[in-house]
Amino acid sequence: MDGTAVSEGCHGVIVTNVTSRRGWRTAVSHHRVIVGRRPKPRYDRLMILLRVLVFMLGLFLAAYTFLSATRTFVLPRSASVKLTHIVFRSVGRVFKLMMKGLPTYEQRDGLMALYAPMSLLLLVPAWLFLTCVGFAAMFWAMGVTPWQDAFLLSGSSILTLGFATADSLPQTILAFVEATAGLILVAMLISYLPTMYTAFSQREESVSLLEVRAGAPPTAPELVWRLHGLGNLQSSQNFWDHWEHWFTQLDESHTSLAALVFFRSPRAHQSWVVSAGAVLDGAALFLSAVVRPEDDPPSQALVIRAGNVALRHIADAFQVPYNADPHFPDDPISVTQAEFNEAYDRLVSQGVPMQPDREAAWRHFAGWRVNYDSVLVALARLTMAPETSWLSDFTFVPAVTEMGQTSGRLQKVR
């Protein structure tokens, strides 16, 4: 007799085979068949959805980082890059904490001279790390598990170390893409530095030359006296033409290469902001208080216009608040009338022909100065420029619209 019996056990199904022949003993054999649990379809769908989501997030992070580097180093125009701002502000906070223990301006200037170069160099590690995290997420989504192995493969790929290899063709292609992105990020910084230092050299050449004509640190009265002492109208015209061109270059370079704003001059008492202020104030003094020849073209007005536009564009790039539509006397300036009168009397004593009505000259000077005063003071504070007699005494406080204020104001800081 042959037969098969099937019974259910607690861990599966038991199959019993019974074989019987005449004259033979009945043989019974038991076989336990383990029935595995079928995968849950819903769980599979959730895992697929999670991997797709993680892949897209990793792709977004890597693409955003690469785009931030491109806008910072390659794009030839002013662009607000959030990631770059975060790195610069984070490094800036560390430098400000270190600066609190330094008693003199020279020591603080020496420390802050490292701020911009250090921030630039730290941009590349920040970009490489974020790119590595983004690609690690994509590797995990493509089956590289656990997370540690995915991050290890991503780091090996972006640094082209080669100690971790991909297991499939799609993963290998992704590793090649990441290695290429890493090389491009480093190449961006290498190609960016020569361009930036060329613009820095051109800026500082004029800043150093200004010391010859306006003293150290440069001041407007000193500039007016020395230009008058030359007695050469053509030489004076060349000076103003040069600085109009300088402001135009400053506008182009310090908005497209924003880190240049924080690159400090080789000497502690020099600053591109102080030099810009001295030239603008000198031009305002010439237009308002100095008796000029009738055939002298109003080049100083063009210099003030070029400087005002350049400084405002730079302030806009860093979202620095300033008064966009100032009017004197409703909006004060950081130069007091007593300081103006002191400069006026000094120039008279030095033989410079001045306008006879000092009050009218003051109003005209303030009318010119108010156009660039708040933005100049704001940039001096931003760059920690050395203090001079007509700069760094005030800071611009923007209007509080909730309190009904329609324009900002200058507030004394020391």
DSSP string, 33-67: EP-PPPPPHHHHHHHHHHHHHHHHHHHHHHHHHHH
CA 302, distance to chain mean position in Å, is 30
Structure-block tokens of residue 270: 């020099």
Q: Over 80: is that where the pLDDT of 248 sits?
A: yes
Q: With bands split at pLDDT 50, 70 and 90, how would you rate the model's confidence at 406?
A: low
Q: With bands split at pLDDT 50, 70 and 90, how would you rate the model's confidence at 80?
A: confident
8 Å CB contact between 190 and 176:
no
Q: 103 CB contacts (<8 Å, ≥6 apart)?
A: none
Q: 19 CB contacts (<8 Å, ≥6 apart)?
A: 1, 2, 26, 27
pLDDT of residue 161: 87
Alpha helices of 321-409 — where are they, by DSSP H?
A: 337-349, 358-369, 373-382
Q: With bands split at pLDDT 50, 70 and 90, how would you rate the model's confidence at 138?
A: very high
Alpha helices of 215-322 — where are they, by DSSP H?
A: 220-230, 233-256, 272-288, 299-317
DSSP 84: H
pLDDT of residue 19: 47
143-171 residues labelled b (16+ CB within 10 A) or e (exposed)? ebeeeeebbbbbbbbbeeeeebebeeeeb
Residue 23 CA to residue 17 CA, distance in Å, equals 18
For 165, the 3-state DSSP assignment is coil
pLDDT of residue 292: 79
